[in-house]
Amino acid sequence: MVKVLGIETSCDETGVAVYASGRGLLAEALFSQVEIHKPFGGVVPELASRDHAARLAPMIRAVVGEAQITLEDLDAVAYAAGPGLIGALMVGASLGASLALALAIPAVPVHHMEAHLLAAMLETPRPEFPFIALLVSGGHTQLVRVRGHGDYETLGNTLDDAAGEAFDKVARLLSLPYPGGPALAALAERGDAAAFAFPRPLKSRGLDMSFSGLKTAVRLELEKRRGGDGVAPSPSLHADVAASFQAAVVDTLVTKCLRAVDETGIRQLVIAGGVGANTALREELRLQGERHGIVVHYPRPGLCTDNGAMIAYAGWCRLGDAARESPRIVARPRWPLDELRPVGNG
């Protein structure tokens, strides 16, 4: 049994977990910095780094204890090395590599999006290769053909905003608190999704996506409705806008997924990343999956948003690469997924 400690500090969540090959997750913990960033309406990178620095070591101790092992029982330390906020990444990378150095075990720098993409492998039943992955997070929106661990081909990409970014920006237009995505989704539940026919850019062709025009359409609609007469917009208007916006995003994402399935003939779909926690998206994909005979895998919401478990698992898959070199501190704010090469474990 190989035991890997996973450390996630790429953005505003501190995540720690222990994964054991053949057994699965032994323990995990997550601290969300939502309350720290809320007064600022978004993530303040400096505050994110400082809080990761304050919290990470005690969290590692607690999770290792909960897994009923000692630090000396660990076989490797995996940490999110990018993409993400450089200062935040540096905290996890520094402590992860230092710990590995002290324990004389490998340190595995993990690609955060690869970890998202493989998170569904922690669930039962596991998806089988090959599958199509819809990666929808705050910084990325991609359709990827996954042939095996580390064998990825990007089929479609967003040309501008990521889906999560669009959720966050529209949430701000609606004066919703950070984090915008979940707040907008909650408001949308009370609204009429058919109230506004917002555009679905690029829906009718190809696998690339675009969300910035949709965001602009929402802004213009709100400006029009608010008018110049100083009348405050009604709460139901905001709920209708939220529901109609969410419907446009879901419609676009689901259409692209179905097209990717059609074009590749691969009838397994895996949803990953923070927007994968969105109930409307999950429900529509479940419906369309049933209708079109596609097997849809979604990790539980806690494995869609940032977490240490996915880093530990991806670290185990990448252990072969890292075992040959001594621990290094790697932090890459930008790191294209296509640069990754296939791996042996999995």
**Residues near Zn ion, by CB under 5 A:** 137, 306
Look at residue 24 and give its three-state secondary structure: strand
Applying CB under 6 A, among 19, 79, 167, 196 the residue interacting with ligand KG4 is 167
Residue closer to ligand KG4, measured from CB, 60 or 311: 311
Binding mask 86-125 for ligand KG4 (x = CB under 6 A): ------------------------------x---------
Instruction: Tell me, residue by residue from 46 to 65, as one string, x for binding to ligand KG4 by CB under 6 A and - for no binding.
Output: --------------------
Return the number of the residue (82 or 182) whose C-beta is nearest ligand KG4: 182
CA 281, CA 251: separation in Å to the nearest integer? Answer: 8
Q: How many CB atoms lie within 10 A of CB 24?
A: 12
Cβ neighbours of residue 75 under 8 Å, at least 6 residues apart? 2, 3, 4, 105, 106, 319
Which has the closest alpha carbon to 323: 83, 107, 19? 107
Query: CA 90 to CA 79: how far, in whole Å?
Result: 10
Q: Is 76 helix (H, G, I), strand (E, B) or coil?
A: strand
Among 277, 310, 319, 340, binds ligand KG4 (CB under 6 A): 277
Pick from 77, 110, 170: nearest CA to 337: 110
CB–CB of 113/137 below 8 Å?
A: yes
Burial of 72 (0-12, 13-18, 19+ CB in 10 A): exposed
Cβ proximity to ligand KG4, 94 vs 279, nearer residue: 279
The 123-162 site mask, x for binding ligand KG4 (CB under 6 A), equals --------------xxx-----------------------
**Would you say 106 or 181 has its CB closer to ligand KG4?**
181
CA 336 to chain centre: 15
- On whether the CB atoms of residues 94 and 87 are closer than 8 A, the answer is no
Contact 225, 206 (CB under 8 A): no
- Least Å distance, CB 83 to ligand KG4, is 8
| Least Å from the CB of residue 220 to Zn ion | 30
Nearer to Zn ion among residue 173 and residue 310 (C-beta): 310
Q: How far apart are the C-alpha atoms of 256 and 7, rounded to whole Å?
A: 32
Tell which one of 6, 15, 156, 180 touches ligand KG4 (CB under 6 A). 180
Is 13 in contact with 30 (CB distance < 8 Å)? Answer: yes
> Closer to Zn ion at the Cβ: 20 or 311?
311
164: partner contacted, choices Zn ion, ligand KG4, none (Cβ within 5-8 A by kind): ligand KG4
Maximum alpha-carbon separation in the chain: 69
Which residue's structure tokens are 């919290």? Answer: 55
Which partner, Zn ion, ligand KG4, none, binds residue 277 by CB below 5 to 8 Å per kind? ligand KG4
Give which of Zn ion, ligand KG4, none residue 49 binds (C-beta under 5 to 8 Å, depending on kind). none
Closest approach, Cβ 183 to ligand KG4, in A, equals: 8
- Residue from 87, 273, 315, 327 binding ligand KG4 (CB under 6 A): 273
Residue of 11, 107, 146, 343 that binds ligand KG4 (CB under 6 A): 11
- Among 274, 289, 299, 327, the residue binding ligand KG4 under the rule CB under 6 A is 274
Least CB distance to ligand KG4 at residue 264 (A): 24
Q: Which is nearer to Zn ion, 138 or 201 (CB)?
A: 138
Q: Which of 328, 320, 317 minimizes the C-alpha distance to 111?
A: 317
Q: Which residue's CB is nearer to ligand KG4, number 18 or number 88?
A: 88
H or E element, residue 137: none
Q: Which is nearer to ligand KG4, 156 or 164 (CB)?
A: 164
